[in-house]
């Protein structure tokens, strides 16, 4: 029987070098940063689309109410459906927090910053649920339904936790 010889390692056949490991870690980090930014962009787009859609549907409901009754319903607090609006609105969408936080509210015959409006849908802080202060989120929403400027137009920021969408 022949004696077995011990296996010899070839030179350079060891594990990964520190440089190779660091290159892989750096590449993985860069990919993670890109993925996180993309996920954030998708989240912002999703929330903006949902709120813009809700506002358009609600505005249509208030316009239908005004056409049928000749006036807008009375002002309400956040999360409370205005009197007589139940047939014109999907109740659950109005009474739950919006996708950007806060609750939907209605104001009729209101003056904001010296300008009179017949009817406005508000997204406001109410019952401890505040509206987002994420400027990217609010600007994206404004671009979808207005002019992209949060200080003017039919959708604007009245104060830190109070967004206004002008219906009429």
- CA atoms 95, 100, 102, 108: torsion sign: negative
Q: Which residues contact 58 (CB under 8 A, 6 or more apart)?
A: 89, 93, 94, 104, 121
**For the chain, what is the largest distance between any 2 Cα atoms, rounded to a whole number of angstroms?**
109
pLDDT of 75: 93
Share of the chain above pLDDT 70, in %: 92
pLDDT of 12: 59
Domain regions of the chain by residue span: 18-166
Q: What is the pTM (predicted TM-score) of this model?
A: 0.79
Q: Using CB atoms within 10 A of its CB, is residue 141 exposed (0-12), middle (13-18) or buried (19+)?
A: buried
Question: Closest by alpha carbon to 165, among 137, 143, 146, 149?
Answer: 146
Question: Closest by alpha carbon to 67, among 123, 118, 122?
Answer: 118
Give CA–CA dist 103/81, Å, rounded.
11
Question: Tens of pLDDT along 97-150?
Answer: 999 989 999 999 998 888 999 999 999 988 778 888 888 889 999 999 989 888
Q: What does the mean pLDDT of the chain come to? A: 87
DSSP bridge partners of 116: 111
Contact in structure between 80 and 105 (CB atoms under 8 Å)? yes
pLDDT of 6: 64
Strand order in the sheet with 115-124: 103-112, 115-124, 162-166, 155-159
Give CA–CA dist 138/131, Å, rounded.
10
């Amino acid at each position: 029987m022949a004696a077995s010889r011990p296996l010899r390692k070839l030179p350079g056949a060891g594990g990964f070098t520190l440089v190779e490991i660091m290159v892989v870690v750096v590449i993985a980090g860069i990919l993670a940063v890109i993925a996180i930014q993309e996920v954030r962009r998708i989240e912002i787009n999703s929330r903006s689309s949902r709120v813009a859609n809700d506002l358009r549907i609600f505005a249509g409901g208030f316009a239908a109410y005004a056409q049928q009754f000749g006036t807008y319903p009375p002002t309400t607090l956040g999360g409370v459906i205005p009197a007589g609006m139940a047939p014109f609105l999907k109740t659950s969408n109005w009474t739950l927090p919006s996708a950007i936080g806060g609750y939907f509210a209605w104001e009729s015959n209101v003056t904001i910053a010296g300008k009179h409006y017949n009817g406005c849908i508000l997204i406001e802080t109410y019952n401890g649920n505040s509206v987002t202060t994420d400027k990217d989120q609010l600007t994206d929403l404004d671009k979808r339904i207005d002019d992209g400027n949060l200080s003017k137009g039919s959708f604007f920021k009245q104060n830190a936790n109070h967004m206004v969408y002008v219906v009429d």
